[in-house]
Amino acid sequence: LSPQLDCGGRKLRLDRPRIMGIVNVTPDSFSDGGEHASVDAAVAHGLQLVAEGADLLDIGGESTRPGSTPVPLEEELRRVIPVIERLARETGVPISVDTFKPEVMRAAVAAGAGMINDIHALRQPGALDAAAALGVPVVLMHMQGEPGSMQDTPHYDDVVGQVHRFLTERLLVAEMAGIARRNLVIDPGFGFGKTTEHNLILLARLERFLDLGVPMLAGLSRKRSIGELTGRDRPGDRLAGSVAAHLIAAQRGAKLLRVHDVAATVDALKVWAAVDAVPALRVDA
Ligand SMILES: Cn1cnc2c(O)nc(N)nc21
């Protein structure tokens, strides 16, 4: 039977790469509508991404881009819980919560989230126990350092080897805490304490992580490295580079792609799937 994730009752089949649409619930800096406006905007955006073909949504209330500042617990809850409640009600796709705080994990699953996306790979105090108790799939991502300073001077002797070792250890720790292996997803964490060269090596050698035996998530959407490679300084101009990177990630084994631009990525995967479906030439013919 083909692998799948049971996200709190909502099944996510992994017979082919699936698209995780990004929903950031950050203050709507344009309107003075405050929290309410950003919740409404986030819900509308999530519905739009599902309409474009997103197989699941990732809801985050705290930006973790390089140099970002932490968001207090109460603030994060005020942002993401209403959005998760409404999207879980108004769509049928699994909802992932992008958080590393155990309290947010618990509240999010209670509100209808069926997956946890933890950029700290359950290293925060209480996170392992929370994830084990909640019984939903968890994404374990590699990050070197912290978002505030991780891009200052990223250094590795062997980036693939070190990321592989980290993910191996986090999988072991998660299983020892009682999290079933069928609920574990790994992620090399593109851009989290990596130079563009490190990101390129990780993408080129992505198949190296398949021996861990669990689904892999890749997220390169609109990231700085894509901008550097294409000379696109504005994130909004990084669509083609992002689609190319995610197609490569899918071809090299990623089963979950975390993207902003769902429709474009859906189209790229459709073209690849069609070509992939053409029978190979019989070499012994
Ligand atoms: C929240 N977030 C931003 N980038 C990400 C990535 O590449 N992977 C995961 N799992 N989460 C991410």
* Catalytic status, residue 255: no
State in Å: Cα 285 to ligand 1 middle.
Answer: 46
pLDDT of residue 239: 98
Residues 208 and 190: their CA atoms lie apart, in Å, by 15
Does the beta carbon of 96 lie inside 6 Å of ligand 1? no
Are 5 and 12 a contacting pair, CB within 8 Å? Answer: yes
**Pairwise CA distance, residues 176 & 122, whole Å:** 13
Query: In the structure, what pLDDT confidence band is assigned to residue 69 with cuts at 50, 70 and 90?
Result: confident
Look at residue 31 and tell me whether its pLDDT is greater than 60.
no
- Run of H or E residues at 78: helix 73-90
ipTM higher than the 0.95 cut: yes
Pocket residue to mutate for ligand 1, from 65, 141, 184, most atoms within 8 A of Cβ: 141
Q: Where on the phi/psi map is residue 102: left (φ > 0), alpha (ψ -120 to 50), or beta?
A: alpha
More confident residue, 272 or 27: 272
Closest atom of ligand 1 to CA, residue 118: 10
Q: Is 89 an active-site residue?
A: no
- Ligand 1 centroid distance, CA of 282 (Å): 41
Question: Which atom number of ligand 1 is nearest to the Cα of residue 220?
Answer: 7
Residue nearest ligand 1's atom 6 by CA: 219
Kindly tell me if the per-residue pLDDT of 236 is higher than 90. yes
Identify the weakest region by mean pLDDT among 25-34, 67-76, 179-188, 256-265: 25-34
Calculate helix-pair angle for 239-251, 262-276, nearest 10 degrees: 40
State which ligand 1 atom lies nearest to the alpha carbon of 191. Answer: 7
Q: What is the pLDDT of residue 36?
A: 78
How far apart (Å, rounded) are the C-alpha atoms in residues 58 and 124?
20
Amino acid sitting at position 155: H
> Does the pLDDT value for residue 27 go beyond 90?
no
